[in-house]
Structure 1
Amino acid sequence: MTPRFYFALFVVGPALCVAQQIDPNTLINVFGTPSNYAASVNPHDPAASGVPLAQALPVKPINETLTDPDYWDIDELPAAAVADYDKFDWSLTKRLSASSDTNFLLSPLGLKLALAILTEAATGLTRSELQSVLGFEMDRVAVRRKFANIVNSLQYKSPQYVLDLGSKIYVENTAHPRQKFAAVAHESYKTDLTPIDFHNPPAAAKAINDWVANLTQGRITDLVHQDDLENVVVMILNTLYFKGSWRHQFAPNATKQGQFYVTPKIAKPVYFMNVKDKFYYAESAKFDAKILRMPYMGYKFAMYVVVPNSLTGLNRVLDGLTELRPEMDLLQERFVDVTLPRFQFEFSSHLDSVLRDMGVRQAFEDTASFPGIARGQSLQQRLRVSKVLQRSGIEVNELGSVAYSATEISLVNKFGEDDDTAVEVIANKPFFFLIQDETTRQLLFTGRVADPTLADGSFKHLFLAVSLQTIHVNGGLRSEASRLNYFDIDLLRYCAEERKGNVMVSPASIKSTLAMLLEGAHGTTESEIRAALRLAPNKQEYREQLNVYLQGLKANSSGVVLENANSVFISTKLKMKKEYEQMMQHVYLTEVYKMNFTNPDADSNFINKWVSTKTHGLINDIVEPVNVNPSTEVLLANALYFKGSWKHSFDPKLTKGACFYSHGVCKNVAMMDMRAQINYAYIEELRAHALELPYEGGRYAMIILVPLDRDGCPVLIRDLPYMSLDQVVSNMEPTDVTLMMPKFTIDYAENMVGPLQSMRVTSLFSSKANLSGIFEGGSPLLNSLYHKIHMMVDEKGTIAAATSAAMVIPLIENGVQLKVDRPFVFFIRDNNLGLSLFEGRIEEPTLYVEPIAAKAPVPVPVTPPPTTTHSPAKISYARI
């Protein structure tokens, strides 16, 4: 049995809200009836029917002596925190909010406490990364003292609120915990180590779930299942439960239905609460938003609500979230008319990718180091983090709030001025909120309310999409003002990490296909596609972005030919929506064909002929007759063709056999040779050599990244998201280079559903897909997206070139000699626009074949004229 370390924490995440009329008795059951509520009710007052009249009145503290006389809320705003431990909270919230446009709820404190305990057990680079991302000082004693103060403050009990913070470490009863770790966990984090028999999963799961349910007031009852406990050695649990009553409560009988603008054009009916009283408030010019502080009873906790002034202004707030704290310090007491929707939601979210993006990477790798937890860990028993899961929920109504969170981290074995003028805060549009401990200024919860209602889907039709492309290279693509580049790196990463051998994709072709789908998408499907492509939230804005992008996919010169074509083949039995058809033609430059799909042979031949024409004969058979039948409703296709000639040609006479090392095996491949002054740099952050091979004209080029280590290509691809291709290019300088790189030819095909799902485009391929904007009377879903490419790189030119790993030897003339003798990464991109046409990883170049001896020597020209060669062809098609 392989031992595994399991770590669990409680946190919050995004979700949809449920809005409904709250029964007054439910409010009392949830929050209880304060003892100083008046009991008198006028039975003749219809408005008071079933609702105690005094319930609408603000509740005053029962024992004023429990309040801190120095508490800032009485006089002024708090001073800055001693340590900037909240930087992690803001950064985490900002990254999570950028992942989608839906509701989310996060407990930064719950996750931070768990990671702090984990940091105590870490060493080396693993510990350094955790310290850096969490913002911890190097002095461990100072960190422990800080957290001891935070935990002690949160454990203060009051009859006016409930704050239960729980932390426990379950250890397999055969293990031997280190006494120092146990002492630090207890003294600084109030966390005890408890022995448990993980070899009895049913009993262990029950014990753990009972403990969690008790501390979360029954809100989380099934955090772990017995299947999760197989081979577990250690589990660390952290829970956070908060229940508070508003100091200025909303009157339940004043709650009325109103319109909440989910988008500028979509409004949904929700129940709005209302209260008029003195609050701390500010109008922020920086964020063009109103900031409101809503205190809870007990003079310790408060909720802050940030409501943008415009219907689309929340992104401005979230983009600048790390600068919100100074704006919160500008609040002044004013008389405010507050209108806030009731909301309630729960959510579970995996945070490992977010933490990786923030810089916590070593903890997830095989080289992670956590020796501080228990004795007896051999090199074969080292642990790494495999999962970070957050579960949370929140309920906000007239009397107050309930919020709770859980985080699970699994470690596995490596194998204005005060006046009488009232201001209004009307939260009838997406808004941001946070719950803060006012004495320590720790963020207990952060979240976004994007839609206080529950959405549902409808029946979906079957949809199939395929991505093809043709590229005839010697070349690339770019827009300095566009964030579309991030999609390119994500796509390469998720295509390459689970696949061996050569990998090649065309982000330009796939983006063209996704753009056509995005135009007909709504709801979550639209949000996921738009987020993956990093497009603006406003449809008109991203239409302009994509139109500029597609317009750039064309070139025709003596050295480079670039052509992009989109097409929609729609069944004659369907009626395409007029707006969608117009957008396809005018924005996405797409041809529309009507077909009856009753003759599979003829229909597939027609589509394949279109593909063959657009790819100049490089791809001839993207669909088979079996793929086209009467059930087919819509097929979307994209074809991208690129043909280029090297600006500095390789001399064919110098091509010879040489070793190329792939997975430790030497293969005799055809290695080309060229000497020229080209852009080059060694990128320390990537541990890789970077080289630019321009095509004729200079606009297009192939960027080659060669890892320093012979087996370093997987790490290089994982590191690329942390350093953009633009940054790599900016570091290059003209250098005299002797380059030896292999020839290669690729015929590559892959269903892109898996990689796109890893990029969080999931609903598109499920029954929840919402593509209702394509045609009348239905919404299709996508079950496949095939990507097909043909590519050839030789002495004359290439469709996509890549280099991995290299050997660099300084030359006398201040140049370098670069031998690409191991797997490498390449990009073909447009230097003017800065966007990638093709990208890939080469592990299997063309094998070397000895040339047949000629009868007579063939003269070699001194300067070979530039010639062209077929590049990869790629096409994308989607069948609905």
Structure 2
Amino acid sequence: MIRKNNPLLPICCVLLLLMTTSCAGLQPDSSAKESNVQVLSLAERRQVAEKLHPDVVLAQNRFGLRIHEKLAEAAKPGDNTLLSPYSIFTALSLAYQGSGGNTGEEMARMLGIDKIGREQANASIRTLHTLLEDAGSGVRLNSANSVWYSRGMEIKNSFIQTAKDSYHADVQAVDFAAQEAVKEINDWVSRHTRGKIPGVLDQAPAPDTRAMLLNTVYFNGAWQSPFDPKNTREGGFTLGDQTDIQVPMMKQTGLYEYKQTPEAQAIRLPYGDGRLYMLIVLPAGGRSLADVMNTIRKDPSIWQARFDHASGEIRLPRFKAESSLELNEALIAMGMKQAFDPAAADFTAMSGAKPLFVSSVRHKMVLDVNEVGTEAAAVTEMGMASSAPPTDRFEMNVDHPFFFCIEDGQTGLWLFMGTVENPA
């Protein structure tokens, strides 16, 4: 039972994700150099990658598929479900560093890192940060974290040090009730998203907010082979309820990583110099998107493995889509229960202020796929988430609901994923 003289202290954690590409495309020398990121040689990248625990990448991808499943089940028929496993996982992992007891055990199991250990997980997160920041020419990918806590609140040095060392986080004490704090937080967001998102706060957060964690991911990448706008034509797209709509369909031919099974066609479209890809999995005739998603969840390794190359034609909708998602129920259903319980939550590794608990987790992602590349923005607010290669030339017409993800080719990490039911 909570005593009246010991008020609840919710943690407000905002995770902000931005992925964008300019209409003019990137210049060939537009790379991590502009953001003062160390550019690694291939040999250096291999040395860094050796420090990455493979189970951390698997955990993040499986976490993404699990939470996508929960969110898709709760979505209205025909809704797109878009999210960033990397962003939500990173934000929750940072919050996990401040947890203890059963709360921490539940969060570790939910994230899939309970058998890896905090130190190994943190080391892998540092490694991923290094690898992803150096995304290669033609792509810019930057991630930033920050911890804002109420001035006068006790926050433990061990948590601060972990946030700085493993998450490269800025840590700052503020007066959440002051308009100056709102401006400071919004300026930080705007700076780390290059002005694409000007801020996350319209006004001061709730009076009982004690901490806010922010994560931004900025991605700017152009297709390695842009689609020619002259080839874009209106074409049919059949929705899940068999309704036909007209959407702009982009088209190009070339040599791609391509895979075909009785269940689906899959293709990888590279960005920049080919370190990052968009993977598209399209259900075969007679198969539903739900059927394909069940196959992917059962064994994602089939689609994470590299495909053989084949020549063919890809038709892909030019579209914009978005999701605004409340993650509380999905995370609770996945096993993260105590963190939301004011009477049971244990975040004593973050602060001695009790009872500290997670009040809400929200996620928003906006996706824009066009001839030049991909543009997307996502916001998560957490109050406190083979068959044989084809011998003939293939045709892949993405004219019905499909699954996509944007992946790092070296690590296999799925940075973004979603199901597109309606591209209109």
Q: Shorter-chain TM-score: which interval?
A: 0.7 to 0.9
Residue in structure 2 matching 1:344, options 308, 312, 320: 320
Q: Which moved more, 1:82-91 or 1:383-392?
A: 82-91
Quick one: structure 1 residues 134 and 4, their matched pair in 2 at CA, closer, same or farther if it must change by over 3 Å? closer
Q: Which residue of 1 aligns with 2:140?
A: 162
Aligned equivalents of 2:406 and 2:70: distance in 1?
18
Aligned equivalents of 1:197 and 1:116: distance in 2?
25
1:180 Cα offset (Å): 0.9
1:267 Cα offset (Å): 0.7
1:29 Cα offset (Å): 5.2
1:259-658 alignment, distance < 5 Å: 259-263=236-240, 265-285=242-262, 288-310=263-285, 313-328=288-303, 329=305, 331-365=307-341, 366-375=343-352, 377=353, 381-411=354-384, 421-453=392-424
Q: Which residue of 2 aligns with 1:189?
A: 167
Residues 7 and 237 of structure 1 are in contact (CA less than 8 Å); yes or no, is this contact kept in structure 2?
yes
1:157 Cα offset (Å): 5.7
Aligned equivalents of 1:152 and 1:33: distance in 2?
21
Q: Which residue of 2 aligns with 1:6?
A: 12
Which amino acid is the alignment partner of residue 153 of structure 2? A
SS at match of 2:187: helix
Cα deviation per residue 1:263-294 (whole Å; 9 max; x = unaligned)? Answer: 36311110000111111111123xx1111111
1:394 Cα offset (Å): 1.5
Which amino acid is the alignment partner of residue 407 of structure 1? T
Residue in structure 2 matching 1:30, options 6, 23, 37: 23
Which amino acid is the alignment partner of residue 135 of structure 1? G
1:81 Cα offset (Å): 3.3
Residue in structure 2 matching 1:234, options 207, 211, 233: 211
Residues 28 and 137 of structure 2 are in contact (CA less than 8 Å); yes or no, is this contact kept in structure 1?
no
1:91 Cα offset (Å): 1.2
1:67 Cα offset (Å): 7.3
Aligned equivalents of 1:255 and 1:176: distance in 2?
58
Q: 1:151 aligned to 2:122?
A: no
Which amino acid is the alignment partner of residue 118 of structure 2? R
In terms of Rg, which structure is larger? 1
Aligned equivalents of 1:67 and 1:339: distance in 2?
35
Which amino acid is the alignment partner of residue 32 of structure 1? G
1:159 Cα offset (Å): 4.1
Aligned equivalents of 1:363 and 1:161: distance in 2?
37
Residues 145 and 170 of structure 2 are in contact (CA less than 8 Å); yes or no, is this contact kept in structure 1?
yes
Which amino acid is the alignment partner of residue 152 of structure 2? T
1:206 Cα offset (Å): 1.6
Q: Which residue of 2 aligns with 1:92?
A: 67
Quick one: structure 1 residues 267 and 385, their matched pair in 2 at CA, closer, same or farther if it must change by over 3 Å? same
Quick one: structure 1 residues 189 and 290, their matched pair in 2 at CA, closer, same or farther if it must change by over 3 Å? same
Quick one: structure 1 residues 334 and 81, their matched pair in 2 at CA, closer, same or farther if it must change by over 3 Å? farther
SS at match of 1:226: coil
Q: Which has the higher contact order (CA 8 A, sep 6+)?
A: 2
Aligned equivalents of 1:357 and 1:388: distance in 2?
13
1:255 Cα offset (Å): 0.6
Residues 31 and 245 of structure 1 are in contact (CA less than 8 Å); yes or no, is this contact kept in structure 2?
no
Which amino acid is the alignment partner of residue 54 of structure 2? A
SS at match of 1:94: helix
Quick one: structure 1 residues 324 and 221, their matched pair in 2 at CA, closer, same or farther if it must change by over 3 Å? farther
Aligned equivalents of 1:432 and 1:28: distance in 2?
21
1:372 Cα offset (Å): 1.3
1:403 Cα offset (Å): 2.6
SS at match of 2:423: coil
Quick one: structure 1 residues 355 and 82, their matched pair in 2 at CA, closer, same or farther if it must change by over 3 Å? closer
Which amino acid is the alignment partner of residue 140 of structure 2? V
Aligned equivalents of 2:226 and 2:282: distance in 1?
19
Q: Which residue of 1 aligns with 2:106?
A: 129
Residues 263 and 312 of structure 1 are in contact (CA less than 8 Å); yes or no, is this contact kept in structure 2?
no
Quick one: structure 1 residues 157 and 300, their matched pair in 2 at CA, closer, same or farther if it must change by over 3 Å? closer
Aligned equivalents of 1:35 and 1:359: distance in 2?
45
Residues 264 and 312 of structure 1 are in contact (CA less than 8 Å); yes or no, is this contact kept in structure 2?
no
Which amino acid is the alignment partner of residue 140 of structure 1? R
Number of residue pairs matched by the alignment: 394
Aligned equivalents of 2:26 and 2:189: distance in 1?
26
Any gaps of 5 or more consecutive residues in structure 2? Answer: 1-6, 30-38, 47-51
Residues 136 and 275 of structure 2 are in contact (CA less than 8 Å); yes or no, is this contact kept in structure 1?
no
Aligned equivalents of 2:45 and 2:212: distance in 1?
38
Q: Which residue of 2 aligns with 1:172?
A: 150
Quick one: structure 1 residues 67 and 264, their matched pair in 2 at CA, closer, same or farther if it must change by over 3 Å? farther
Q: Which residue of 2 aligns with 1:576?
A: none
Residues 135 and 275 of structure 2 are in contact (CA less than 8 Å); yes or no, is this contact kept in structure 1?
no
Residues 53 and 120 of structure 2 are in contact (CA less than 8 Å); yes or no, is this contact kept in structure 1?
no
1:140 Cα offset (Å): 1.9
Q: Which residue of 2 aligns with 1:808?
A: none
- Quote the RMSD (CA, aligned, Å): 2.7
Cα deviation per residue 1:203-239 (whole Å; 9 max; x = unaligned)? Answer: 2122112211222233333422324242322100111
SS at match of 2:277: strand
Q: Taking structure 2 as the reference length, what is the TM-score of the superposition?
A: 0.86
Any gaps of 5 or more consecutive residues in structure 1? Answer: 13-26, 37-64, 73-78, 454-880
Question: Could you tell me the percent identity over the aligned residues?
Answer: 26
1:65-144 alignment, distance < 5 Å: 68=42, 81-83=54-56, 84-85=58-59, 86-100=61-75, 101=77, 102-136=79-113, 137=115, 139-144=117-122
1:242 Cα offset (Å): 1.4
Aligned equivalents of 2:41 and 2:24: distance in 1?
21
Q: Taking structure 1 as the reference length, what is the TM-score of the superposition?
A: 0.42
1:319 Cα offset (Å): 2.4
SS at match of 2:54: coil
1:404 Cα offset (Å): 2.9
Cα deviation per residue 1:302-356 (whole Å; 9 max; x = unaligned)? Answer: 1100101126511101223323422222621111210000111233211000001
